Each structure stands twice: as structure tokens, then as C-alpha cells.
Amino acid sequence: MSAPRVALDIDIPSDVRQIEPVIRQVTDTCRSLDLPRQQCSLNVPVALSEALSNAILRGNHEDVTKRVHLRTLVADHELVFEIRDEGPGFNLEASTRDPEQQNALEREDGRGIFLMRTLMDSVEQFQQGGNVVRMTLRLPDTSPEPR
């Protein structure tokens, strides 16, 4: 198995208008890697948009002097996104709301982390020079069948 390589390393100010161009760059990278269509057009853009929104709004409180850093790593069988902000972090578990919960349907908020967890194979959070959220998406095995 080869070591993961950094496909993208992006640093943006805490401004939600920065999200769309970043997503475009990442989805272009997904397509260049020949990932399945739905991963490029649904899983990656939506989960990443949520993670970047959280970093900008909750982590850095839209303070444009604070930065959000995105690193995209490609390994043999997975795509990893690390999103780092300058905030103290927040409780991912407590912020995850299941749409099956009572009254959840008519709520305007509370779907972001649920979508990240649903559209990615794992979502972790840790401290490393700031608050880091790591999302991992497993890629389909395209290696030839052994004879």
C-alpha cells in the first residue's frame, strides 16, 4: 500500500463566500481521480460544505483574520479531508441530530453534522494546532480481481 499523498492544500479566510470555489476545486480533483459520480457530486461537496461552514461559523465565528485550512489526502482506498480552524472545538456528538428525532423535521438547523456523518465513512475531531475535523471517504476497490 502506498503512502497517502496530499492532493490539495488550501488556506482561506473565514468568509462563507470562499466555500463554493473551494468545493469546486475539490470536486474537480475527485473527477480527475475518476471517483464514482455520486461521491463527486453529492458526498464530497455536501459533507465538505458542512465542515467548512462549521469551521468558519462555529470555529472562527466569521472572524476574517482567522484562517481555515483544508488538506485533502488521497490514499489507495480512501480520500481524507482535514479541516482545521482556530477555534476551541465543539462537541460533535452533542451537535449531531437525527432527522427521526421528534420535531426534527420542521427545524431549520441541526442537519449539518448528521449529513457529514451520513455522507462520509468516518468523521473524527481532534486538536492539532487548532481544532481539526477529519472526514474519511472509502473509495471503491478498482484493482483487478486476482487470478
Partner 1 sequence: MSFALKKQGDVVVVDVEGQLIVGNRQELKQKVLDELERGERKFLIDFSQTGYIDSSGLGVLVSLSKKIREQGGELRLADLNDDLKTLFELTKLDTLFQISDTRERALESF
The binding site for partner 1 (CB under 8 A) comprises 16-17, 19-20, 23, 38, 41-42, 45-46, 49-50, 53, 57, 99-100, 104-112, 114-115, 118-119
Distance of closest approach, residue 133 Cβ to partner 1, in angstroms: 15
- Closer residue to partner 1, CB minimum distance, 76 or 99: 99
Distance of closest approach, residue 42 Cβ to partner 1, in angstroms: 4
- Closer residue to partner 1, CB minimum distance, 4 or 27: 27
- Closer residue to partner 1, CB minimum distance, 90 or 114: 114
> Where does residue 92 rank: exposed (0-12), middle (13-18), buried (19+ CB within 10 A)?
middle
> Where does residue 39 rank: exposed (0-12), middle (13-18), buried (19+ CB within 10 A)?
buried
What residues have CB less than 8 Å from 125, skipping those under 6 apart?
Answer: 89, 92, 131, 132, 133, 134
Furthest-apart CA atoms within the chain: distance in Å: 57
Distance of closest approach, residue 4 Cβ to partner 1, in angstroms: 26
Distance of closest approach, residue 146 Cβ to partner 1, in angstroms: 33
How much is the CA Rg of the chain, to the nearest whole Å? 16
- Closer residue to partner 1, CB minimum distance, 38 or 142: 38
Distance of closest approach, residue 74 Cβ to partner 1, in angstroms: 21
Q: How far apart are CA 26 and CA 96, in angstroms?
A: 25
C-alpha cell at 141: 476497490
